[in-house]
Amino acid sequence: MTPRMLKQTLEEWSREVHVPGDLADRALRRRSRLRLTRFAGAVSCAAVVAAVALLVPLVVVPLFTAEPISQVGGPPVVVPVQPYRQTTPAEDVLADTGNSPPKTMIAAGGVAVSAYYTWRSRTAAGRKVLDRTWYLLDPATKSYEKTEWGWTEVAPGLRWAAVLEKDLPVRRIGIFDMEARQVRAWVPVDHPVGGVAWSPDGTRLLATAYDESPDLDRTSVVERQCPSRVAATPEDPRHPPFQTISTSRTGFYVVDAATATAGDFHAVDPCWTDNSNVRRDFGWSDDGALVREASNVWKRPDAFYDLEGRPHDAPSGYVATESKAGVSPGGTLLAGPDGMPTKVTELSTGEIVGRQQVLQLLAWADDHRLVALGCAGTCGNEFHNGLVLVGVDGENAVPLSEYRKNTQKPEAWEPVLTPR
């Protein structure tokens, strides 16, 4: 029996418990009996009261609690994390086209909206910062529930999540049990972190460290100058002699989820890759053997590091991608860049095998379909958009979510897709 099922069973029992109204009178009428009988009756009464006292509080246990099963500095923790294995979902497509933000689970093929956030700008100590409110999937009820976390990242398989508290960056990482709805363990770190990413097999976390909030508005950060590593040439005038950056990112940790322990901190030069984003989280290579740092400069390659933070060559067979979807599960197709219409090409030949009337290709549902960002109606406004499931050939588009009226407006919701 799972913790969730046990809790629900105890709640049902608590509602069925009935204490007779004349319980006290019965006890008084038995005072003339032998001491042993009186003692036994008292024990029985105490047992009933204790049972009620134990059961009733379970009814008001909050669904989300920051109290961990294991405290920082406590005894060693073993979190039952298992390597992710793709399975065939019981329900191929789950949609919520009646609510925005969604209330019930959205999924297609091998991926699901594991979480989403709404955003707004706020001012803290005179500086503008992006503030997120996170909603996390409950796989048991197939619904989304509001959280108090400052950042969440769900592992492949939808069983575990990594959570960070508000006011990023923070000095501990929570391993959240999606089934029990509780933090199973806290992982302390010396360098505060502002973002986390699960390895492809769901057993490790890559935690990116920052000296200050990674979500500061560009107008509120101190700009730093990076010397150019490649001189500008007439053939490549887009690469300036110096690249302006705005990030307080310092390095990363690799966290073992099963033991809830962080390895050594690895400092990384923020100027190593051309990038002007304030938030600059590290990611994983497709096989989870290397750390990847994405460039946001057109046609500039991503950078790779080994798990000790040393620069490393790109992995064998690495394919530079121009979309979030990237390479298909079978490794034969490549999702093209954003912009209507999008396209899918065959990796071996570069031949276009399909075009889609959507704005962005976000994730592969399987080798033949993608979850994409489509716009409403005739696409009169690209910011009036929602999630759709579309075939590689561009046919049979299926709406997955309600269309968001303006994704540039504060409080708009942003989906996070995870393998299920």
83-117: per-residue pLDDT in tens?
Answer: 999 888 889 999 999 999 999 999 999 999 999 99
pLDDT mean over 392-419: 92
pLDDT of 27-40, one tens digit each? 444 444 434 344 34
pLDDT of residue 36: 35
Please say if the pLDDT value at position 7 is more than 90.
no
Q: What is the pTM of this model?
A: 0.80
Residue 129: inside a domain: no
What is the mean predicted confidence (pLDDT) over 163-173?
97
In a domain, 175, yes or no: yes
Residues 79 and 47 in one domain: no
Residues facing 204 on adjacent strands: 256
Q: Of 295, 318, 341, which one is at a domain's C-terminal end? A: 318
Q: What are phi and psi of 110, to 5 degrees?
A: -95, 10
Task: Please give the pLDDT value at position 26.
Answer: 45
- Please report whether residue 194 resides in a domain: yes
Instruction: Mark whether 183 and 252 lie in a shared domain.
Output: yes
Residues 78 and 52 in one domain: no
H or E element in which residue 15 lies = helix 3-16
Q: For the chain, what percent of residues have pLDDT higher than 90?
A: 61
As a whole number of angstroms, the distance between CA 313 and CA 300 comes to 15
Nearest to 200 by CA among 75, 326, 26, 106: 326
Neighbouring residues of 208: CB distance < 8 A, sequence distance ≥ 6 = 193, 194, 195, 196, 197, 214, 249, 251, 252, 280, 281, 282
Distance (Å, whole) CA 159 – CA 180: 10
Structure tokens at 126: 């005179």
Phi and psi, residue 43, nearest 5°: -60, -40
- Per DSSP, 404 falls in state B
Based on the fold, state whether residues 33 and 170 are members of the same structural domain. Answer: no
In this predicted structure, what is the pLDDT of residue 67?
43
Least confident range from 20-24, 257-261, 323-327: namely: 20-24
Q: Quick one: CA dihedral 376, 380, 384, 387, positive or negative?
A: positive
Count of CB atoms situated within 10 Å of the CB of 3: 12
**Is residue 45 domain-shared with residue 166, that is, in the same domain?**
no
Q: In this predicted structure, what is the pLDDT of residue 408?
A: 83
Residue 189 and residue 41 share a domain: no
Question: Would you state the pLDDT for residue 240?
Answer: 53
Name the residue range of residue 54's domain.
Answer: 3-60
The mean pLDDT of 14-31, rounded to a whole number, is 45
Phi, then psi, of 65 in degrees rounded to 5: -140, 140
Same domain for 45 and 14, yes or no, is yes
Q: Which residue has the higher pLDDT, 15 or 176?
A: 176
Asked whether residue 46 falls in the same domain as residue 76, the answer is no
In a domain, 217, yes or no: yes
Q: What does the alpha-carbon distance between residue 332 and residue 389 come to, in Å, rounded to a whole number?
A: 20
Among 325, 324, 262, 315, CA closest to 290: 315
DSSP designation for 327: B
Residues 188 and 232 grouped into a single domain: yes
In a domain, 415, yes or no: no
Residue 346 inside a domain? The answer is no
State the chain's mean pLDDT as an integer: 83
Please indicate, yes or no, if residue 29 is contained in any of the structural domains.
Answer: yes
Number of domains in the chain: 2
Highest mean pLDDT among 4-18, 289-303, 375-389: 375-389
Same-domain status, 196 and 314 = yes
User: pLDDT value at position 55?
Assistant: 40
Residue with tokens 């913790």: 3
Residue 49 has pLDDT above 50, yes or no: no
Same-domain status, 49 and 76: no
pLDDT digits (tens, 9 = 90+) for 338-363: 999 999 999 999 999 999 999 999 99
User: What per-residue confidence (pLDDT) applies to 301?
Assistant: 79
**What pLDDT was estimated at residue 381?**
86
**pLDDT at 305 > cutoff 60:** yes
C-alpha to C-alpha distance for 218 and 215, rounded to whole angstroms: 9
Q: Are residues 161 and 297 in the same domain?
A: yes
Of the ranges 50-54, 320-324, 371-375, which one carries the lowest mean pLDDT score?
50-54
Mean pLDDT on 198-213: 97
Q: Would the pLDDT of 302 be above 70?
A: yes
For the cut 60, the answer to whether the pLDDT of residue 18 exceeds it is no
- Percent of the chain whose predicted confidence (pLDDT) is above 70: 77
Strands 127-138 and 111-124: antiparallel
- 176-204 burial by CB neighbour count: b if 16+ within 10 A, else e? bbbeebbbbbbbebebbbbbbbbbbbbbb
pLDDT at 118: 96
Q: Within a domain: residue 271?
A: yes
User: What does R_g of the chain's alpha carbons equal in angstroms?
Assistant: 26
pLDDT of residue 303: 92
Residue type for position 205: L
Domain end among 44, 60, 76? 60
> d(Cα 335, Cα 345) in Å, to the nearest integer?
7
**Quick one: average pLDDT of 207-231?**
82
